[in-house]
Amino acid sequence: MSPNAKILIGLAAVLVTTWVYHGPVGVGTTFIDRAESEARRVMAGTEVPGIEVRLGREPLSRLATLSGPADEFQRQGQGELKGLNDLVAEVDGVSDVQWTDEGELRRGVPLILEALIWMMAAYLIGLGLGWLLFGRRRKQSFLD
């Protein structure tokens, strides 16, 4: 089997494993559920009633969508006073924040795509390090 085929088989195995882990096994859903509940807990600790937080579900994404009766000062904050956007953005697992009444809603980068990109990068970095550190076997003499 050629070295290129082995590399591609290894990459395919990594990507399939990542997809199974985040999709059918349910780790992606668990991650989004945890981040969303933490963001809701943070919102409950503020003195602004009626603010709802949702993370992307179709597809799973780390983009938080907020809705409710908050004015610009409450949303953005001022100086050292953090606004609702900053509080939600600080939640571990949230990548960005948007409001439902601020124009067209964006779709976040799907969580599975993020995971696949990171795993592919890790695989290729490991492959490159292995090639750098161990490389090809050197010939002992000209007669080999």
**Span 85-140, pLDDT tens digits:** 889 999 999 999 999 888 788 888 899 999 999 999 999 999 999 888 887 766 67
pTM recorded for the entire structure: 0.78
Cβ atoms of 96 and 114 closer than 8 Å: no
Residue 50 has a CB neighbour count (10 Å cut-off) of 9
Local structure of residue 110 (DSSP, 8 states): B
How many residues are there in the chain? 144
Chain centre distance of CA 45: 25
Using the CB atoms, write b or e for 24-35: b if 16+ within 10 Å. Answer: eeeebeebbeeb
